[in-house]
Amino acid sequence: MEEEPMSVVFQVGANGVGLLDPGSETNNVEKGAKVDLPFWLAHDLYLRQATSINVPACFNQKTRKEIQADAACVDLRMRCPYFYELGCKTVPLVGDKSIGSFLLQAFSSRYKEVLSKSHSTPTTTASKFLPRLTKEETQLFEAAQSSMASFKKWRVGGSRLEKASILGKKRKTTLPIDPPSP
């Protein structure tokens, strides 16, 4: 999430960091230059009043309209894999308070779908739906699935002692030819 690109405008010039601005011909970034910086850098420079931050595209009016129309169908991952986290961390930087209610609305309308699909979707069709989820939503989806799996396992019973998963799943390839000795 810290690596998400943020569009910023430099309020000051900075020497010796020309790499940040592909358009710069010197090794410096000029005052007023508009560049994309990873979130961690954009954030800390903002705190030092060296940059101003533009609202990321994933929170623009177009996305908002799409979410309002059919929240569950929007491919949020493509727009930003850390949609919610980025949103929460962006609000204090851009001073657009309406992002908060937009996030909440997007989350609550998608949440129900995520949960019900995680219980009902067979793995084959999940592949269509999963790529649209943000990382946060994917975690929810997996949490719901694994809690269901644990519940089923608990109900059926069975062995609870298992080989440490880090040792790999592959067994020795030799098949038992003789019947096991008692």
Partner 1 sequence: MYGRRASQLLGELAAAETGQLTVYNSDTFDQVIKECNEHNVQLQSLFRKMEEQNLDIQTTRNEDYFGAVIHHLSLARNKRCLMAYMYNRAETIQSLRWKIGKKLPQEIQEKLSFSEGEYFKNHSAAIDSYMSELDLDLTVDMIPPKDPYIQIRVLDDIGEVSLGDLEISLTRHSVHFLRRTDAEQFISQGLMEEFLG
The verdict on 160 binding partner 1 (CB under 8 A) reads yes
Residue 63 near residue 51 (C-beta atoms within 8 A): no
Q: Please identify which residue in 44, 60, 96, 148 interacts with partner 1, judged by CB under 8 A.
A: 44
Tokens 């592909």 belong to residue: 22
Structure tokens at 181: 């000795």
To the nearest whole angstrom, how small is the minimum distance from the Cβ of residue 45 to partner 1? Answer: 7
H helices then E strands: how many in the chain? 7, 3
Tokens 């994917």 belong to residue: 138
The verdict on 40 binding partner 1 (CB under 8 A) reads yes
Q: Please identify which residue in 48, 65, 128, 152 interacts with partner 1, judged by CB under 8 A.
A: 48
The verdict on 167 binding partner 1 (CB under 8 A) reads yes
To the nearest whole angstrom, how small is the minimum distance from the Cβ of residue 133 to partner 1? Answer: 16
The 8 Å CB, 24+ separation contacts for 85-92 are 85/1, 85/136, 86/1, 86/4, 86/39, 86/56, 86/58, 87/59, 89/1, 89/39, 89/43, 90/6, 90/53, 90/55, 90/56, 90/59
To the nearest whole angstrom, how small is the minimum distance from the Cβ of residue 64 to partner 1? Answer: 29
To the nearest whole angstrom, how small is the minimum distance from the Cβ of residue 15 to partner 1? Answer: 4
Only one of the segments 85-93, 102-110, 147-155, 158-166 lies at the binding site for partner 1 (rule: CB under 8 A); that segment is 158-166
Q: Please identify which residue in 17, 78, 88, 149 interacts with partner 1, judged by CB under 8 A.
A: 17
Q: Is the dihedral of CA 148, 149, 153, 156 positive or negative?
A: positive
Binding site for partner 1 (CB under 8 A): 2-3, 12-17, 19-20, 28, 38, 40-41, 44-45, 48, 50, 158-168, 171-172, 176, 178, 180-182
